[in-house]
Chain A
Amino acid sequence: MAARLDGNLGLELLRAMWRIRVFEERVGQLTRADEVHGLVHLSVGQEAVAAGVCGQLRPDDVVYSGHRAHGHAIAKGAPLGRVLAELMGRADGLCRGLGGSMHLVDVEHGFLGATGVVGGNVPLALGSALASRLSGGDRVAVVFFGDGAVQGGIFIESVNLATLWRLPAILVCENNGFAEFTPRSAHTNVERVSDVVAPYGLPRETVDGNDVVAVRTVFARFLEQARRGEGPMLLECLTHRLRGHYEGDPQRYRQALAAEEWQQLDPILRLQRRGVAEGWLGEDAPSLVEQGARDEVEEAVRFARESPFPPAAVTVELVYAS
């Protein structure tokens, strides 16, 4: 039996996950209403990874992510309204409406960015870690990627270089078992991502990625090591993508989880059950936390809807930095 969780920490983690959950579900609705545009990949079901990792980072630590990045950006501190405005292509979006869902960046909060190219940001995090080391700081770089990124060449190129150069980077794999529309077993014979990197000799752990406390506990240890310059490390979080690969995905390739099965897996319900059992969460507290997140998300929706579309001239103005 795990030790009792500190109540304040429990509530903080619960709030972090509810904010992402409610935001993502709202984005799904807004996508169907054609207010959010383009290719949208939601992280409903995977909130424990973003919350368990990002909550421990300092503002100057950097995070890179992939195409399913809303939760990571939010957990790193990106304001909900500016994230949503970006998804809606508005001028007050994080990226002034030029990036969209797959290219969120919030430099102020250390979210250096999402990418639409699977695996594409893994080496960028290493470069940021290199910059941290050469400047003599203890800033750490974290990169999130899915299990689908692991079969590409750049992943292994990056793991090799990160270990060779001992970079203060933490690689966080969200293994949701599906690479887009295909189960992992159809793409590789190696079931665990932590086994893929085993020969490189880096610290690696596979955890229950729907247990936010488990994610947080292992990540805390890795973070402390990385601060001391002992990177890299790999944290594999086994999780579940509740929705399709993208919004609108008919998901013909898999059967939906039965409701009871999902109730057992849902990282939010699990933490709430634990909180009630351990006595740090009152019976009415979950709905209060949920409602707080809903209010915040509705405020974000108002903010984004009020933001204008950017002027057309911005397209040619921002091609080059000056």
Chain B
Amino acid sequence: MTETTYLQAITMTLADAMRGDHRVLVLGEDVAEGGPWGATAGLAEEFGAERVRNTPIAEAAICGIAIGAAQSGLRPVVEIMFIDFVTLALDQLVNQAAKAHFMSGGQLQVPLVLRTQGGAGQRGAAQHSQSLEAWLTHVPGLKVVMPSTAADAAGLLAAAIADPNPVVYVENKTLYFRREEVADGREPVPLGRASVVRPGRDVTVVALSRLVHESLAAADELAADGIEVEVIDPRTLVPLDLDTIVESVSRTHRLVVAHEAVTHGGFGAEVAAQVQAAAFDELDAPIERVGAPFAPIPFSPPLEDAYLPGRAGVAAAVRSVVSLGPAG
């Protein structure tokens, strides 16, 4: 075992991929300098300016160039510094990258990884803190990945780079410096496979990204009251490992879905709809969703703290679903 951080896991995986495959290149704003958190630190020194390319602040063109490079045989990893700015690249991502394989009748492939990071909690206010993953999951042709741990950050990134499709890889800025023991010998984590992070018999909590850790904390608190929570991290939103979630719900008969994004139209709605379609008879209580209120993220620290979904919200939702229906 080695101690590492989520951020170091990303850097290491990028370097491994670039060593192992000369077609892999990294491009984005300030990537040669390592970027604001250091995710690409050291890559320019090892691989040179041709393969670690600083770009102007022009998200649409950066993304378009990466798509074209991918269609002509490279494996670009493009960084959009904040997911809030993916808005500027959405035409390229949605209209070009996602549909090229389909619209060409299978002739074109776009083996592109778009790395970006989201999440609030650092007083970044409404334009540097969003969780916009649900938009991306709505687009056929894109895969969407959200790692919550260092091990998964490494394993999912390796799998994303190896994938022949465009993959949006969404990091969370508050997880970057979380320390974690990871197994030696890095293995890719297959896209589309959920992880049961904590087993439990009473309630299933499907949580994304930062909310995985909040849900684990809530589970510890609830265990003291005799409520055993099973926490599942889907890790990949598209394709979604519905089987693992449904198998869990068919044992616990209760489901809470938790993410930091605005609840309204969030990915939790999709999980809830898919689970009730697949396992309606297994549910003993309505599915609860935990997410942010339908409002932009406020700047003022006490307001932002109050806005952010976390451990308390997950615990309250679990208690609510446990209180309904037949006793577990």
Q: Does B328 contact A (CB under 8 A)?
A: no
Q: Does A175 contact B (CB under 8 A)?
A: no
Q: Does B326 contact A (CB under 8 A)?
A: no
| Shortest distance between the CB of A87 and any CB in chain B (Å) | 14
Q: Which stretch (A22-30, A130-138, A295-303) binds chain B?
A: A130-138
Chain A residues with Cβ below 8 Å from B58 are 157, 160-161
- Chain B residue at minimum C-beta to C-beta distance from A133: B50
Q: Does A199 contact B (CB under 8 A)?
A: no
Question: Which of A123, A154, A318, A322 meets B68, CB within 8 Å?
Answer: A123
Q: Does A122 contact B (CB under 8 A)?
A: yes
- Asked whether, in the complex, the Cβ of A321 is within 8 Å of the Cβ of B164, the reply is yes
| Shortest distance between the CB of A166 and any CB in chain B (Å) | 12
Q: Does A307 contact B (CB under 8 A)?
A: no
Chain B residues with Cβ below 8 Å from A115 are 95-96
| Shortest distance between the CB of A222 and any CB in chain B (Å) | 19
If the complex has contacts A117-B91, A132-B72, A319-B140, are A98 and B105 also in contact, measured as CB distance less than 8 A?
yes
- Asked whether, in the complex, the Cβ of B96 is within 8 Å of the Cβ of A318, the reply is no
Q: Does B310 contact A (CB under 8 A)?
A: no
Q: Does A45 contact B (CB under 8 A)?
A: no
A-B contact list, 26 entries, CB within 8 Å: A64-B68, A95-B107, A99-B103, A103-B99, A105-B103, A112-B68, A112-B72, A113-B100, A113-B108, A121-B96, A123-B64, A124-B64, A124-B65, A128-B68, A131-B73, A131-B74, A141-B68, A154-B60, A154-B61, A154-B91, A160-B61, A161-B61, A161-B62, A164-B56, A318-B106, A319-B141
Q: How far is the CA of A99 from the CA of B101 in the complex (A)?
A: 10
Further pairs besides A105-B105, A318-B102: 18, Cβ < 8 Å: A93-B105, A98-B103, A98-B104, A99-B104, A105-B107, A105-B108, A106-B107, A112-B108, A120-B95, A126-B65, A128-B72, A129-B68, A131-B69, A154-B61, A160-B58, A164-B56, A320-B101, A321-B106
Q: Does A96 contact B (CB under 8 A)?
A: yes
Q: How far is the CA of A319 from the CA of B143 in the complex (A)?
A: 11
- Asked whether, in the complex, the Cβ of B105 is within 8 Å of the Cβ of A124, the reply is no
| Shortest distance between the CB of A41 and any CB in chain B (Å) | 16
Query: In the complex, which range does the number of interface residues on chain B fall in?
Result: 35 or more
Chain B residues with Cβ below 8 Å from A93 are 105
Q: How far is the CA of A141 from the CA of B67 in the complex (A)?
A: 14
Q: How far is the CA of A321 from the CA of B103 in the complex (A)?
A: 12
- Asked whether, in the complex, the Cβ of B61 is within 8 Å of the Cβ of A134, the reply is no
- Asked whether, in the complex, the Cβ of A125 is within 8 Å of the Cβ of B68, the reply is yes
Q: Does B55 contact A (CB under 8 A)?
A: yes
Q: Quick one: which of A97, A106, A112, A154 has the most chain B CB within 10 A?
A: A154
Which residues 88-122 in A have Cβ within 8 Å of B in the complex?
93-99, 103, 105-107, 112-113, 115-117, 120-122
Q: Does B7 contact A (CB under 8 A)?
A: no
Q: How far is the CA of A158 from the CA of B104 in the complex (A)?
A: 24
Q: How far is the CA of A120 from the CA of B164 in the complex (A)?
A: 22
Q: Does B81 contact A (CB under 8 A)?
A: no
Q: How far is the CA of A116 from the CA of B56 in the complex (A)?
A: 26
- Asked whether, in the complex, the Cβ of B56 is within 8 Å of the Cβ of A130, the reply is no
- Asked whether, in the complex, the Cβ of A320 is within 8 Å of the Cβ of B141, the reply is yes
Q: How far is the CA of A158 from the CA of B62 in the complex (A)?
A: 8
- Asked whether, in the complex, the Cβ of B107 is within 8 Å of the Cβ of A107, the reply is yes
Q: Does A153 contact B (CB under 8 A)?
A: yes
Chain B residues with Cβ below 8 Å from A130 are 65, 68-69, 74
Which residues 73-131 in B have Cβ within 8 Å of A in the complex?
73-74, 76, 91-92, 95-96, 99-109
Q: Does B146 contact A (CB under 8 A)?
A: no
Chain B residues with Cβ below 8 Å from A126 are 61, 64-65, 68
A-B contact count (CB 8 A): 148
Q: Quick one: which of A64, A113, A127, A160 has the most chain B CB within 10 A?
A: A127
If the complex has contacts A107-B104, A160-B56, A160-B58, are A112 and B71 also in contact, measured as CB distance less than 8 A?
yes
Chain B residues with Cβ below 8 Å from A164 are 56
Chain A residues with Cβ below 8 Å from B71 are 112, 124, 127-128
Q: Quick one: which of B73, B103, B109 has the most chain A CB within 10 A?
A: B103
Q: Quick one: which of A124, A153, A157, A322 has the most chain B CB within 10 A?
A: A124
Q: Does B40 contact A (CB under 8 A)?
A: no
If the complex has contacts A131-B72, A157-B61, A319-B141, are A95 and B104 also in contact, measured as CB distance less than 8 A?
yes
- Chain A residue at minimum C-beta to C-beta distance from B143: A320
Q: Does B66 contact A (CB under 8 A)?
A: yes
Chain A residues with Cβ below 8 Å from B72 are 62, 112, 127-128, 131-132, 141
Q: How far is the CA of A121 from the CA of B68 in the complex (A)?
A: 8
Chain B residues with Cβ below 8 Å from A117 are 91, 95-96
Q: Does B70 contact A (CB under 8 A)?
A: yes
Q: How far is the CA of A161 from the CA of B59 in the complex (A)?
A: 12
Q: Does B25 contact A (CB under 8 A)?
A: yes
Chain B residues with Cβ below 8 Å from A112 are 68, 71-72, 108
- Asked whether, in the complex, the Cβ of A127 is within 8 Å of the Cβ of B105, the reply is no
Q: Does B165 contact A (CB under 8 A)?
A: yes
Q: How far is the CA of A97 from the CA of B67 in the complex (A)?
A: 23
| Shortest distance between the CB of A299 and any CB in chain B (Å) | 22
Question: Which of B53, B67, B143 meets A124, CB within 8 Å?
Answer: B67
- Asked whether, in the complex, the Cβ of A153 is within 8 Å of the Cβ of B65, the reply is no
- Asked whether, in the complex, the Cβ of A99 is within 8 Å of the Cβ of B105, the reply is yes
- Asked whether, in the complex, the Cβ of A321 is within 8 Å of the Cβ of B109, the reply is yes
Q: How far is the CA of A54 from the CA of B95 in the complex (A)?
A: 26
Chain A residues with Cβ below 8 Å from B99 are 103
Chain B residues with Cβ below 8 Å from A135 are 73
Q: How far is the CA of A128 from the CA of B69 in the complex (A)?
A: 5
- Chain A residue at minimum C-beta to C-beta distance from B67: A124
Q: How far is the CA of A175 from the CA of B21 in the complex (A)?
A: 42
| Shortest distance between the CB of A213 and any CB in chain B (Å) | 31
Q: Quick one: which of A64, A122, A134, A153 has the most chain B CB within 10 A?
A: A134
